[in-house]
Amino acid sequence: MPGIMQELISITSPTMSERFSRSGVAASLTSVQMNVYETEATGSKLLVQGIPQPFGGSLVALSAVLSAAAGAGSLTLIATINGVATNLQLVITTLVTGYTVQEYGSANFQSGDRIGVQVTTSAGWTGTTSDLLVDLYFVFVDARF
């Protein structure tokens, strides 16, 4: 019966993602919460930071893409729970993409918690005209309907 058990796990613990964006990633940003991404909104973003979750779960991955590479400096993305930094972090230097995956259970949230992403850039960051798109992946725990 492994097929039935696998199906039950995937139904009750689905992997999901939320999308965040920032236009023009300035240098010397310090722990700035990113806005929820929405193409229908003015400037392709909603002025909303963090999304409340209907079920508890665990943050498991970050992936990001920039519209253009920086020549120098670094950009650090940190997943947040209720605006507080977690250990899920991604650093990008002169590439246009990046991702990181962490073990399930390393950054847990409860139902009602708001998950989000904050960005920090070094003073030497030269990708100031780049737009940034980030996906934050998480797994719900026992999401039964």
pLDDT at site 41: 47
In the chain, what percentage of residues exceed pLDDT 70?
Answer: 80
Question: Would you say residue 109 has pLDDT above 60?
Answer: yes
The radius of gyration of the chain from alpha carbons, rounded to an integer in Å, stands at 16
Judge contact between 29 and 121, C-beta under 8 A: yes
Of 1 and 33, the one with more pLDDT: 33
Residue 55 has a CB neighbour count (10 Å cut-off) of 20
Nearby residues of 16 by Cβ (< 8 Å), 6 or more positions away = 57, 137, 138, 139, 140
pLDDT range class, residue 50, cuts 50, 70, 90: confident
Domain boundaries, the chain: 2-140
63-78 pLDDT per residue, tens: 999 999 999 999 999 9
4-45 pLDDT per residue, tens: 545 555 555 678 888 888 888 889 999 988 877 755 545 555
Q: What is the mean pLDDT of residues 112-129?
A: 94
Provide CATH code, domain 2-140: 2.60.120
pLDDT at site 1: 45
Question: What whole-number distance in Å separates Cα of residue 143 and Cα of residue 139?
Answer: 10
